[in-house]
Amino acid sequence: MKSKKILITGGAGYIGSHAVLASLEKGYQVVVVDNLFRGYKQVIDVLQKKFGQDKLRFYQVDLTDKKALDEVFSKEKPRAVMHFGALCLVNESMEKPELYFRNNVLGTLNLLEAMDEVGCKNLVFSSTCAIYGESTYLPVDEKHPQFPTNPYGESKLMAEKEIVWFSKLKNLNSVIFRYFNVAGANIDGLIGDSKKPSQLLIQNAVRGALNIEEFKLTCPKVDTKDGTPVRDYINVEDLADVHILAVEYLLGGGESDVFNLGTGKGKSILEIIEKVKQVTGVNFNIGKSEVRKGEYAEIYADISKVSKILNWKPKRGIRESVESLVKWYKNKPNGWQY
């Protein structure tokens, strides 16, 4: 029987930890590599307690440390990799672009080399709709022009190009997922988002509704129906589910490809706030804070390609994301602690 071992970078972070949980529930043996710069060892401890250390192993390694990364791959020899290990704050990337090119571009290159050296040929990459920039048509499909408006999006596009060339020249099999906006938590309240401060709208709105911290708008005024940006919000558990499908697709001989991940529907920030108020039953105050840089007006996904090829469609909506976050933040209002 072939190994069911997969390695997950950034597995102690928000999205990565949900992919770890989904993989463990599907019977995979998981190896997590995370530098804990923005991830939390506590989430690994919780999952190891639930599934056992023989099913989940953890290495505190930075992707820019090639020697340490090589040692992990030489020891573990995974069959596939899910790559979530990246910095992802748009505003921060505008202020500190060097962090994003070093971590997201160099880190990905080191990962690709480490995989190649042990013959691991299957990669699922966490990319972003930020590579598209301002939409020239809607919904956005995978062929949309790519003009990032911030270093975060540019660094992810550069990482995508590295992967494409390794696919062409090194026989790498890859699935690149371009995420739209992610929301929600594990429905059982076991794990969730702990970024402090979070830049994710629904998370912050739920925290405002629960009176954990004041909710403040950080968006610029844009040319949309209500003057606030329109985005496509996908549930984090739906996101984790499709990563499992992608691993199985690659292990089954699927060809390298690129897919958008969203719901196919756009909601404005004010519409989302009203939905959070409706679901929670709390009419919380809306403050204002410093406007984020590098934002654009409207984007939402065409998901017909991933629906056709991977037979995937989102199962959860805004209500499920809000309800799961309420459960998570009531359990851990301050998230994981360092």
Would you say how long the chain is, in residues?
338
pLDDT in tens, 216-234: 888 878 888 998 999 999 9
Domain that holds residue 20: 5-183+233-262+303-314
- CB 228, CB 219: distance < 8 Å: yes
Q: Is residue 150 part of a domain?
A: yes
Q: Could you give the residue numbers annotated as active site?
A: 152
Angstrom distance (rounded) from CA 31 to CA 316: 28
70 assigned to some structural domain = yes
Alpha-carbon gap, residue 318 to 265, rounded angstroms: 11
The answer to whether residue 170 scores a pLDDT higher than 80 is: yes
List pLDDT tens digits, range 65-111.
Answer: 999 999 999 999 999 999 999 999 888 999 999 999 999 999 999 99
Please state, in angstroms and rounded to a whole number, the distance separating the CA atoms of residues 129 and 316: 20
Nearest to 156 by CA among 207, 101, 117: 101
User: What pLDDT shows up at residue 2?
Assistant: 67
The span from the CA of 27 to the CA of 200, in Å, is 31
Largest CA distance in the chain: 57
Rounded CA separation 269/115 (Å): 40
| 197 upstream amide cis, omega within 30 of 0 | yes
DSSP 301: B
- Main-chain phi, psi angles of 267, to 5 degrees: -130, 140
Residue 240 lies in a domain: yes
Q: Is the pLDDT of residue 316 over 60?
A: yes
For residues 187 and 237, is the Cβ–Cβ distance under 8 A? Answer: yes
What is the C-alpha separation between 180 and 47, in angstroms, rounded? 26
- Quick check: is 219 in a domain? no
CA atoms within 13 A on the CB side of 325: 29
CATH number of 64's domain: 3.40.50.720
What's the total number of domains in the chain?
Answer: 1
Does 129 reside within a domain?
yes
Using CB atoms within 10 A of its CB, is residue 324 exposed (0-12), middle (13-18) or buried (19+)?
Answer: buried
In the predicted structure, residue 139 carries a pLDDT above the cut 50: yes
Q: With a cut of 80, say whether residue 293 has pLDDT above it.
A: no
- Asked if residue 23 belongs to a domain, the reply is yes
Confidence at residue 222, expressed as pLDDT on a 0 to 100 scale? 84
Q: Which amino acid is at 279?
A: V
Q: Is residue 25 part of a domain?
A: yes
Q: What pTM was estimated for this model as a whole?
A: 0.95
- Calculate what percentage of the chain has a pLDDT beyond 90: 86
Average pLDDT value for residue range 128-154? 95
Would 327 be classed as within a structural domain?
no
Give residue 1's pLDDT: 44
C-alpha span between 75 and 249 (Å, rounded): 25
Q: What is the mean pLDDT of the chain?
A: 94
pLDDT at 127: 98
Token pair in block for residue 177: 């997922």
The confidence score (pLDDT) of residue 338 equals: 52
Are 104 and 155 in contact by the 8 Å Cβ rule? The answer is yes
Q: Give the separation between CA 186 and CA 312, rounded to whole angstroms.
A: 19
pLDDT of residue 167: 96
In this predicted structure, the answer to whether residue 270 has a pLDDT above a threshold of 80 is: yes
pLDDT at 294 (0 to 100): 63
pLDDT by residue (tens digit) across 185-217? 999 999 998 876 677 899 999 999 999 999 988
